């Protein structure tokens, strides 16, 4: 049900923009290539439950390059994260996983620097040691997750950029009706397939 709602929301948000972009014809020789960037990074998050966690994040972005300013910075980001090591809290079984997607807006490049902001919706799973003796098998839960993020891409070599990303997540009521708001930073590398196509 949640995935259907997310798809419907993305359709409502981007259908008018997408249909306008398709209507703008560009000669084949001037096509900018596949408007996709993808990357991987290391994340470190304050879990808002049991210390901090480290892990891996994977990004994939699709940009609407045919749109006119100021809408040409719009895109869709898909993000997968698995926080499962570098525990600082006492629960060594703690693990958080998220799969989210949503709109991202990239500002214009300025000397190789490009700031952005994003709003993501998806699913989050958390694994933990039993917290209540009456429920010894309650060691996992899944919730809808909302996330706000900002960051900066810094191009350092042709198609490659370094990304610094800050994210604030909102998890609804979980253990003992405790709503989680994990926050964290991710540092990674992005590859721009459009730059590869222009070579």
pLDDT digits (tens, 9 = 90+) for 15-65: 444 444 434 444 333 445 789 999 999 999 999 988 999 999 999 999 987
Q: Is there a contact between 190 and 24 (Cβ–Cβ < 8 Å)? A: no
Q: Is there a contact between 52 and 45 (Cβ–Cβ < 8 Å)? A: yes
- Give the bridge partners for 70, in sequence order: none
- Give the bridge partners for 135, in sequence order: none
CATH class of 2-9+37-197: mainly beta
Give me the residue label for tokens 């222009």: 198
What's the whole-number mean pLDDT along residues 68-74?
Answer: 85
> Is the pLDDT confidence value at 163 over 50?
yes
85 sits in which H/E element: strand 74-85
Percent of the chain clearing pLDDT 70 (strictly above): 81
The structural domains of the chain, with segments of one domain joined by +, span 2-9+37-197
d(CA 48, CA 144): 16
């Amino acid at each position: 049900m949640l995935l259907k709602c997310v798809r419907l929301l993305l359709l409502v948000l981007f259908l008018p923009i997408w249909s306008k972009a398709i209507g703008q014809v560009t000669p084949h020789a001037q096509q900018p290539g596949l408007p996709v960037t993808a990357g991987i990074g290391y994340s470190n998050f304050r879990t808002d439950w049991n210390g901090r966690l480290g892990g891996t994040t994977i990004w994939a972005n699709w940009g609407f390059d045919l749109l006119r300013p100021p809408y040409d910075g719009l895109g869709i980001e898909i993000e997968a994260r698995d926080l499962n090591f570098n525990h600082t809290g006492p629960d060594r079984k703690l693990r958080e996983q998220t799969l989210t997607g949503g709109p991202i807006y990239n500002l214009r490049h300025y000397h190789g620097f490009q700031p952005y902001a994003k709003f993501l919706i998806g699913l989050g799973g958390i694994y933990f040691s039993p917290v209540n003796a009456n429920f010894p098998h309650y060691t996992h839960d899944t919730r809808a997750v909302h996330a706000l993020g900002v960051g900066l891409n810094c191009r350092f070599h042709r198609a490659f950029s370094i990304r610094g990303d800050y994210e604030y997540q909102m998890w609804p009521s979980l253990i003992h009706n405790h709503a989680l708001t994990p926050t964290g930073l991710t540092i990674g590398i992005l590859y721009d397939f459009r730059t590869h196509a222009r070579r």
